[in-house]
Amino acid sequence: MADQKIDVLISEVGPRDGLQSIDTILPLALKKAWISAEAAAGVREIEVGSFVPASLLPQLADTAEVVKHAKTIPGLTVAVLVPNLRGAEAAIAAGADKITLPVSASETHSLRNVRRTHDQMIAEARAISTLIASLPPGRRPHFEGSLSTAFGCTIEGAIPDAVLQDLAARLVEAGCAEVGLSDTSGYANPTQVRRLIRLVRGVVGDDRLTGLHLHNTRGLGLANALAGLEEGITTLDASLGGLGGCPFAPGASGNIVTEDLAFMLESMGLRTGIDLDALLSVRRQLAQWLPNEPVYGFTSEAGLPLGYVGPPQIVRFADALGG
């Protein structure tokens, strides 16, 4: 799995963003089975949980055990979300390969989500970076600062460009290896995606903004993903069955659907490394494990087209995007 070349990395966030947004608490054994099955289907990066207090998100109380299992899977990048230094310490102790700190562009959302102001979150980022730098090189996780509600907030509305630019610059200065843009509330449209990628890259550089976290709240998730690809984005978050949302952002709902995203990319001739038949099988299993929770997506309902064989053996990334 790890040696196969890909054009776009699909980062599965269902075991974190999906499970935190539903009432059902999936047993540890089924979380392990889900992660193992997706990795076997060719998914290379999975956000397996979040190191937050169990009192706030009991659905993710077993994240350390989930990380421990995921680390046994060859070639899998094990990602987690952390709200602060304490969470980062737990993530590092568990052995996570990648940690993401959510820094909401909406300060009101930040106070509700992680109970910290912008200045306090930058201080957390600096403390986490210092901790990572103190580790032996082989134990240092990749550190991302994710700009949540970057495209708009259900509490504050539009986010001024200057706020995004300032936070992005401060996160890099604080030690984040990269920043990501997150459409927490599902407000984004393709034109806005292109504009904000250029805006933030103008501050941090092209190599420090490579990923997007998109929601499909208003049906624009795949269109926004394509806009990101056209701007050079190479990592896209998605959730199996479209599970997900933010408990602290009113109206936020479903992530883009992993299987629909993978089908779109592969149909365009872009390599994801994912076996679509195997991925659809995992989705069917997940739906059985969560019988009381809605799952979404079109590819699972329609099936793969007759004669579908996946992307061509040789394709230029620019050609696939019409460049």
**CA–CA dist 49, 61 (Å, integer):** 9
Q: What is the reported pLDDT for 316?
A: 53
**DSSP of 65-127, one letter per residue?**
HHHHHHTTSTT-EEEEE-SSHHHHHHHHHHT-SEEEEEEESSHHHHHHHTS--HHHHHHHHHH
Q: Look up the CATH architecture of domain 9-320.
A: Alpha-Beta Barrel (3.20)
End-to-end CA distance of the chain: give it in Å, rounded.
Answer: 28
The span from the CA of 274 to the CA of 236, in Å, is 14
pLDDT for res 253: 59
261: tokens are 């995203």
User: Which tokens in the block code for residue 237?
Assistant: 């978050």
* Sequence ranges of the domains in the chain: 9-320
203 three-state secondary structure: helix
Per-residue pLDDT of the chain (323 residues), as tens digits, is 445 789 999 999 999 999 998 989 999 999 999 999 999 999 999 999 999 999 989 999 999 999 999 999 999 999 999 999 999 999 999 999 999 999 999 999 888 878 899 999 999 999 999 999 999 999 999 999 999 999 999 889 999 999 999 999 999 999 999 999 999 888 999 999 999 999 999 999 999 999 999 999 889 999 999 999 999 999 999 999 999 765 444 444 589 999 999 999 999 999 999 999 999 999 999 999 999 998 899 999 999 999 888 766 444 555 667 65
Catalytic amino acids? 246
Q: Which helix (H) or strand (E) holds 57?
A: none
Q: What are the tokens at 203?
A: 């501050």
